[in-house]
A and B are shown apart, each in its own frame.
Chain A
Amino acid sequence: MLNFFKRKKYPEFWQKHIDTVKNCKKYANYENIRFVALDTETTGFDYENDRILCIGAVAIQNNRILVSDSFEVYIKQDVFNKETVKIHGIRKNGTEIKVSEEEALIAFLDYLDDAIIIAHHTKFDMTMINNALKRLNVGPIQSKQLDTNYIHKKIATEDRFKKLFSLDELCEIYNVKKHDRHTALGDALITAYIFLKLTFKYKKNNVLNLTELINTNYYLNK
């Protein structure tokens, strides 16, 4: 009976993830925080049945986007939806080198390290990733998460009560070129640009620290 409650032993990569996030002491000093802007391309929008095809991510530290610290992985999936191929351009038997979902997630967690996650409509990407982790009997991701949509809403002067701003709308508002839209790493870079511009604006009227940023979207991190 006691055995039943005993904490189950996690696979090594997951235990490492939990420990890394728990033990990170960087978060107090904003300049030292490593942010990772990420985006996923998926077969569709169904959390249960759709699958991740690609994860792209790039790191930001001290207001700089570090291209040398970026991540791009394509994933082999049995689920295939020819409708969304039009959007992301990832074919079932395309030329990209693809790895299994497990390999991709392990590599991603290793890359993620102790970083804070930034995405646009973060809930979607994170749910897709967490459901994939669930298939490996682990998850959800422990890292703190931010959403450019909510940071924007905090400082927006117009349409503040609109629920959602699309990535394209934010590109218009913040004058970001839309290169490589709908590739995971391309969208991750756009998200990173928007994040930099948002935090600059944010700093003018607010104290820029992690707690404040996280409070822009409390629900994501509860």
Chain B
Amino acid sequence: MKNTIAERIFDFLKEYPPFNLISKETLCEISRNVEIQYYEKDQIIFDQNDPPQDNFYIIYEGVVRLYRFVDDKKINIDICDEGDVFGLRPLIMNENYTMGAAANEETILYGIPTHLFKDIILNYPKVSQFLIASFATNTRDPFSDKHKGKLFANISSVNKMDNSYAETQSAKYSKNPITCSINTSIKEACMIMTGHIINSIIVSENHIPIGIITDKDIRTKVGTGVYSIFDPVSKIMTSPVITFPENITVAEAQIALIKHKVSHICITKDGTDQSELVGILAEHDLTMLQSNNPIFLAREIKSAKDVETLKYIRTKASELTRGYLEQEIPIYFITKVISEINTAITKQIIKLVIKEIGTEPPVAYAWLAMGSQGRKEQLLMTDQDNALVFENVEEEDYEKTKAYFLNFSTKITEKLNIVGFEYCPANIMASNPKWCLSVKEWKAQFKDWVKHPTSDKILLSIIFFDFEYIFGDKNLYERMSESVFRYIANKQTFLGFLSKATLDNPAPLGFFKQFLVEQDGENKDQFDIKSRAIRPLVDAARIFSLHHNLKINNTIARYEKLMEVEPQNRDIFESCANAFKILLQFRTSQGLAKNDSGKFVDINSLSKSDRLKLKSCFKPIKNIQESLKLRFNVSQIP
């Protein structure tokens, strides 16, 4: 029997894990048996030590807080909002609730009967994984061994599968194709084609494509005198047309073009030649697409003779990023490709500058990337952070040498700026005399940072600990990094300072209304994903790597190495690496959508599943920060 309420509940549930993992029939059955409950602000849903209820809950509207009494003190454990599930205990074990739940504001809950879910848990391993993970995160004490590693058991439900290949990406095609009717004369059709500067026109009736005329038809059938230009287009059109649905992949398109020996494919609503025409894909569209592939771009960069070409290539690379994200290619791979492209562009710019100056640099030097480029995590056009190191010179030559490299660096940063890498607002660039130094000076600088750490110096120095060699003499870079590790080796206090600086950025716990978003200014109500979520993970990875003398710059690679080095903390590091991947992907797609750096996320514009995904990243941040605090005795640092 039809049931409008159950249909609506089904529509709601299917958006959220674990319900999105269940078959339609089963979810319908669940929807028909939901209990809708209403709670006023501060009303208790269940109290700690209450006997288990018949339902567990998903929040339809409102916010619920979970709390627990420890030594008669009430502690809020978590804040759940729309789409979150809670009260899972009766589902997993038949014991009294170990925590209470109360409405934090007016709230509507869907109660899901646990007896219906018991079978589902048996039949859907992913559902049980998700529920156990949620259950664990709600009850989890950051350092208890009991639930460790379960935290991200739900990752595959939150994250879609990473299994795309270049050939399976959706082909791009022209939308709103130009059409004419079957009675149009060849002459009229040619005038339309000339007017629109196109080499083909589709003959359609009621938006259904029935034939196509290309330049070739006019050459072979009209130009040769077989038909007159006053004949109707139906005489010369190729019919029927080859049609495909909108999600045609590059591979399918290539095969179709070859198989049918045609140069155009019509894209229709349902992919048949009986449905509405939505676009046309020409051979040309596929060649354009190949020009977006990284190997092609790298080749183009090497042969670029001016900055404008490089700028064009960089915008192509942005399109590539967008395409990769749409196809859900693993973020690690995307960052690698884009970093390679950015590095290649920088190298090419340096070569162009040397040519422009006309004289080779007086001594050996190395160009270094800092921050996100140094960590190979730069996906969008962010600020440039760079520095330069040159070989030690005799004192009398110093001024002259430094002047050369400052001029050299200024030209490079100017060109990087033209390509699209904004100047660094903090002026951390090689064109700044402070960051264009000889090997000796750099060593002294690092020594000073490590020996006399103060909070203002720390913020500045953090960025320099992620330096990466880009171009020049690699030997200089190696001498520099070796000395850094030597200084740090016996300086636990320095790492303590670094930890303290990063802990000033506490981990977000949930989107508890405005609690976590910026309170004022231009970015009011926006979540600063860079400072609040990404940076804490980057910082923690750096500190642990410095602690273990790991010469790795990339955050994901750092966490992966740390998993090997500290197997006892494997779970924490793994969850951090996963959270970092999700956040980076998130920031990038936000940035591409809004055409900015993606630093701020408008919480209200996020879909619920995106919010959920984002929120799942907060727990690892909190955990890793706790470890930093304990490991490096942060509390003892003034």
Contacts and interface: CB of A to CB of B under 8 A. Distances in A.
Chain A CB within 10 Å, residue with most, of B32, B35, B111 = B35
A197 interface: yes
A72 B35 CA distance: 17
Contacts of A196: 38
B5 interface: yes
A203 to B, nearest CB: 10
- Looking at chain A's contact residues, the main secondary structure is mixed
A65 B35 contact: yes
B608 to A, nearest CB: 15
Contacts of B37: 63-65
In the A-B complex, the 9 residue pairs with the closest CB atoms: A65-B36, A185-B4, A196-B38, A68-B33, A67-B34, A64-B35, A189-B5, A64-B37, A183-B4
Contact of B38 (A74, A184, A193): A193
Contacts of B108: 193
A70 to B, nearest CB: 6
A128 to B, nearest CB: 19
Interface string B105-116: 010100100000
B35 A67 contact: yes
Contacts of B40: 200
A180 interface: yes
Contacts of A183: 4
B8 interface: yes
Given A175-B106, A177-B61, 11 more contacts: A63-B37, A64-B111, A70-B3, A70-B6, A96-B2, A183-B4, A185-B3, A185-B4, A186-B8, A196-B38, A197-B38
Contacts of B1: 72, 97
Contact of B8 (A63, A66, A180, A197): A180
Contact of A58 (B5, B61, B106): B5
Given A175-B106, A177-B61, A64 B5 contact: no
B4 A200 contact: no
B6 A67 contact: yes
A64 B32 CA distance: 14
A96 B31 CA distance: 20
A63 B6 CA distance: 19
Contacts of B337: none
B9 interface: yes
A72 B2 contact: yes
A168 B61 CA distance: 19
Nearest to A56: B4
A66 B3 CA distance: 13
Contacts of B2: 72, 74, 96-97
Which among A65, A72, A96, A196 has the highest number of chain B CB atoms within 10 Å?
A65
B61 to A, nearest CB: 7
Interface in B514-545: none
Contacts of A189: 4-5
A72 B4 contact: yes
Given A65-B35, A197-B38, A179 B3 contact: no
Interface string A186-197: 100100110011
Given A97-B2, A175-B106, A67 B38 contact: no
**B-side interface size class:** 20 to 34
Report the contact-size class of chain A (Cβ under 8 Å from the partner): 20 to 34
A189 B8 CA distance: 11
Nearest to B34: A67
Nearest to B11: A179
Contacts of A66: 35-36
Interface string A72-87: 1010000000000000
14 contacts: A64-B37, A67-B6, A67-B32, A67-B36, A68-B32, A72-B4, A175-B106, A179-B8, A180-B8, A184-B4, A185-B4, A186-B5, A189-B4, A193-B108
A196 B36 CA distance: 10
B28 to A, nearest CB: 12
Which of B5, B6, B61: most chain A CB closer than 10 A?
A: B5
A66 B40 CA distance: 19
Nearest to B7: A180
A193 B108 CA distance: 9
Interface centre among A183, A185, A192 (most CB of B within 10 A): A185
A93 to B, nearest CB: 16
Nearest to B31: A67
Contacts of A186: 4-5, 8
Contacts of A72: 1-4
Contacts of B33: 67-68
Nearest to B108: A193
A186 B11 CA distance: 14
Q: With a 10 A CB-CB cut-off, give which of B8, B106, B111 has the most chain A CB atoms.
A: B8
Interface in A31-71: 56, 58, 63-68, 70
A66 B33 CA distance: 7
Contacts of A184: 4
Nearest to A188: B5
Contacts of A175: 106
A200 B31 CA distance: 26
A138 to B, nearest CB: 25
Interface in B169-222: none
A63 B217 CA distance: 73
B5 A70 contact: yes
Interface string B25-50: 00000011111111010000000000
B161 to A, nearest CB: 33
A192 B4 CA distance: 14
Contacts of B38: 63, 65, 193, 196-197, 200
A68 B112 CA distance: 11
Contacts of B4: 56, 72, 180, 183-186, 189
Nearest to A97: B2
A70 B31 CA distance: 12
A58 B31 CA distance: 14
Nearest to A73: B1
A64 B108 CA distance: 10
A172 to B, nearest CB: 15
Interface in A97-127: 97
Nearest to A192: B36
A46 B445 CA distance: 90
Nearest to A189: B5
Contacts of B9: 67
Contacts of A197: 38
A179 B6 CA distance: 13
Nearest to B40: A200
A185 B7 CA distance: 11
Contacts of B35: 64-68
Nearest to A74: B2
Contacts of B32: 67-68
A63 B1 CA distance: 25
A26 to B, nearest CB: 19
A201 to B, nearest CB: 9
Contacts of A192: 36
Given A64-B36, A65-B36, A67-B36, A185 B111 contact: no
Interface centre among B1, B35, B36, B106 (most CB of A within 10 A): B36
A197 B2 CA distance: 27
Choose among B2, B4, B8, B111 the residue with the greatest number of A CB atoms under 10 Å from its CB: B4
Contacts of B106: 175
A193 B61 CA distance: 12
